[in-house]
Structure 1
Amino acid sequence: MSTPFWLPIETERLLLRDFREDDFDSIHAYATDPEVVRYMPWGPNTLEVTREVLDRNLERQKTWPREELSLAVEVKATSEMIGSISLHDANSDNSAFGYCYSRDAWGKGYGTEAARALARIAFTELGHHRIWATCDARNHGSYAIMEKVGMRREGHMLKNLKARDGWRDSYVYALLADEWRAANR
């Protein structure tokens, strides 16, 4: 297996890299935080679930191309792992986009910085036609990141996913390669 030349992905402040065994504590810390998982369809994690998630990511990293490109997000200045970002169906030309960050990382622009970097890779290196994402309609922080990356809201699904507090509405956002290219000339 040969890792692509563009991995890890470096931005001004971040390193988007493969997961490591020593990421366990950081992953478990944010995946057990009720505020972090408030709008997620998963969590809070048990130790066993966090172990399964990390082991699955470590196993995926042994092959290329990967069906799911899931990367740890690390702050370069501190080497702190603050979250993760993913392209699901990474081998298709229409990938779902997702991310999750520790509460300490919120409001610092890290989510937008990482999302812009992964969108660039999706369109320039992976040749994607479209990336898309969904989020709980109440999750302003998540859809604010999508909008800052240039994604547009394509839909509002009513009560489409069962959440801890009942049925949730979801927003659907997307960005086409042509739109990304036009905005990044």
Structure 2
Amino acid sequence: MFKIETNRLWLRDFQPSDVQSYVRFTANPDYQKYYSEEDCRREKSEFLANQFVVQARDVPRRKYQLAIIEKSSDQLIGTCGIRAENDNHASMGFGIAVEYQGIGYAFEAARSMICFGFQALGVYRIYAETLAANHSAVGLCERLGMHKEEHLIEHRFFKGCWWDTVVYALKRNE
């Protein structure tokens, strides 16, 4: 099993036993604020968590969607991932259960994934796309040293309106 250790967390491959914990934390309406109705369905969450389990077996491996486990409680508290793409780029994303937000877990996990992407995957550029209104995600990208590369106006439609998205990125030499 693939695993990265940080001060307070384990980032590890998803296991079948993680599926219900993932479904539970993604069902929280506060967590779902910046996700489409389709992405918030229980069936979609179960499908994604099971997909994370399966993709861990890929050879060669290009996607690492990992469970974030709080060491002190041994609880699944979120997910973070990095996906190597063509042209030596990688995208990353993360989600933390509402009750664990605001205490630096997302920063700790994301920083480790960035280091992994540059060092182990050898990518040149890592980027994240998020809704411009998701101030927590935007702030996290900025704290990680990422730079805003793009602001797409009315780029996604869900929950009855159009949302702007932003793309943040960091290059290896930064």
**Partners of 1:175 and 1:86 in 2: CA distance:** 15
**Displacement of 1:60:** 0.9
**Displacement of 1:37:** 1.7
**Partners of 2:26 and 2:140 in 1: CA distance:** 20
Q: Does 1:120 align with 2:115?
A: yes
Alignment of 1:106-145 (within 5 A): 106-145=101-140
TM-score by length of 1: 0.87
> Does the aligned pair in 1 maintain the 2:84–2:123 contact within 8 Å?
no
> Does the aligned pair in 2 maintain the 1:66–1:90 contact within 8 Å?
no
**Displacement of 1:91:** 7.0
Alignment of 1:75-86 (within 5 A): 75-86=70-81
> Does the aligned pair in 2 maintain the 1:31–1:43 contact within 8 Å?
no
**Partners of 1:153 and 1:174 in 2: CA distance:** 7
Identical residues among aligned pairs (%) = 29
Unaligned runs of 5+ in 1: 180-185
TM-score by length of 2: 0.93
> Does the aligned pair in 1 maintain the 2:3–2:10 contact within 8 Å?
yes
Unaligned runs of 5+ in 2: none
Could you tell me which residue of structure 2 aligns to residue 182 of structure 1? none
CA deviation digits over 1:95-146, x for unaligned, max 9?
Answer: 1111111101110100000000000000011101000011111111111111
Residue number among 41, 44, 47 corresponding to 1:45 in the alignment: 41
Q: Does 1:10 align with 2:9?
A: no
CA deviation digits over 1:3-30, x for unaligned, max 9?
Answer: 6xxx301000010000011112211112
**Partners of 1:32 and 1:92 in 2: CA distance:** 35
Q: SS where residue 37 of structure 1 aligns?
A: helix
Q: Judging changes above 3 Å, is the alpha-carbon distance between structure 1 residues 15 and 57 closer, same or farther for their aligned structure 2 residues?
A: same
Note the aligned Cα RMSD (angstroms): 1.6
Greater strand share, structure number: 2
Aligned residue pair count: 173
